[in-house]
C-alpha cells in the first residue's frame, strides 16, 4: 500500500512515524509539508492508494483544501483528513467535498492501519465520536421516496461509517442481504462504490 501524507507540524510527523515505523516493509510512505507539494507529487497518482492531509497545513484552508486535492487525483483515490479533532459540521462539509474519512491523532497504530486499508478499499472511515453526530438533518421530501425502507437503513449505516457487517448487526440482517441492498442503492444513486453512494446521497439531500 502506498500512502501520501501531507503534514505541516511535528505532531503530525510524529503521529505518522510512530504509528507506521514498524510497518514500512508492508507500506510505502510519501510525505509533503504543504498541500501544493502534495498536488505536485500526484504525478505518480496511479500508484497512490490513499492520501491523508493534515488540516493544519497552511495552504489547506480547513476542509476547503480537499477540493484542490480531489481535483488532482483520479476519483478512485481516497483522500482523508488528519487532525486533533473535527466537529460534525466540518465532517459533513468534508464528505460533501469528497473526503474518505478522518484520522484523529489519538488513533492507535492498529486502528490507523485498519482505517487506511478500509479507505483504500473504497470505504469511508469516520470515528465513532464523530459518526454519531454526523447524520445530516433534512426535511422530508420526494427525493428519497425511491429508496425502500431497508435501503434507507443501509444508507444511514453507510453515512455513519459502518462496515457491511456492522450494518447487518445493527438492523438484524445477513451480510449477503446487506450487499444486495447496497447494490440496489448504488444503482439507484448512480454510484460506483460505497464511498460514491454516500457522497451522492449527500449531494441529493437524502443523507
Query: Which residues make Cβ contacts (< 8 Å) with residue 79, sequence separation at least 6?
Result: 50, 51, 52, 53, 66, 69, 70, 73, 98, 99, 100
| Fold topology of 2-127 | Rossmann fold (3.40.50)
pLDDT in tens, 36-72: 999 998 875 568 889 999 988 889 988 888 888 988 8
pLDDT in tens, 75-86: 788 999 998 887
pLDDT in tens, 176-186: 889 888 888 88
Q: How would you label 117-149 residue by residue, b for 16+ Cβ within 10 Å and e otherwise?
A: ebbbeebbbbbeebbeebeeeeeeeeebeebee
Domain ranges in the chain with CATH number 1.10.10.10: 142-203
Return the HEC string of 3-15: EEEECCCHHHHHH
- Give the Cα separation of 82 and 195 in Å (integer): 18
What pLDDT shows up at residue 22? 57
Domain ranges in the chain with CATH number 3.40.50.2300: 2-127
Give the global pTM: 0.63
Q: How far is CA 53 from CA 44, 82, 206, in A?
A: 17, 6, 28
- Give the Cα separation of 105 and 156 in Å (integer): 26
pLDDT in tens, 184-200: 888 888 788 888 888 77
For domain 142-203, which CATH number applies: 1.10.10.10, 2.60.120.10, 3.30.1050.10, 1.10.490.10?
A: 1.10.10.10
- Give the Cα separation of 40 and 128 in Å (integer): 33
Amino acid at each position: 500500500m502506498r500512502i501520501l501524507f501531507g503534514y505541516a507540524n511535528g505532531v503530525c510527523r510524529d503521529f505518522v512515524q510512530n504509528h507506521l515505523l514498524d510497518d514500512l516493509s508492508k507500506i510505502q510512505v510519501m510525505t509533503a509539508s504543504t498541500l501544493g507539494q502534495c498536488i505536485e507529487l500526484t504525478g505518480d497518482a496511479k500508484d497512490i492508494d490513499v492520501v491523508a492531509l493534515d488540516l493544519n497545513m497552511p495552504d489547506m484552508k480547513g476542509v476547503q483544501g480537499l477540493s484542490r486535492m480531489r481535483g488532482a487525483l483520479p476519483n478512485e483515490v481516497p483522500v482523508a483528513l488528519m487532525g486533533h479533532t473535527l466537529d460534525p459540521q466540518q465532517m459533513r462539509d468534508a464528505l460533501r467535498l469528497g473526503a474518505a474519512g478522518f484520522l484523529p491523532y489519538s488513533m492507535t497504530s492498529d486502528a490507523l492501519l485498519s482505517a487506511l486499508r478500509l479507505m483504500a478499499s473504497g470505504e469511508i472511515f469516520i470515528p465513532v465520536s464523530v459518526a454519531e453526530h454526523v447524520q445530516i438533518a433534512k426535511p422530508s421530501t420526494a427525493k428519497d421516496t425511491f429508496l425502500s425502507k431497508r435501503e434507507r437503513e443501509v444508507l444511514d449505516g453507510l453515512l455513519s461509517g459502518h462496515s457491511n457487517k456492522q450494518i447487518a448487526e445493527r438492523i438484524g440482517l445477513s451480510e449477503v442481504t446487506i450487499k444486495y441492498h447496497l447494490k440496489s442503492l448504488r444503482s439507484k444513486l448512480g454510484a460506483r462504490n460505497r464511498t460514491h453512494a454516500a457522497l451522492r446521497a449527500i449531494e441529493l439531500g437524502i443523507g
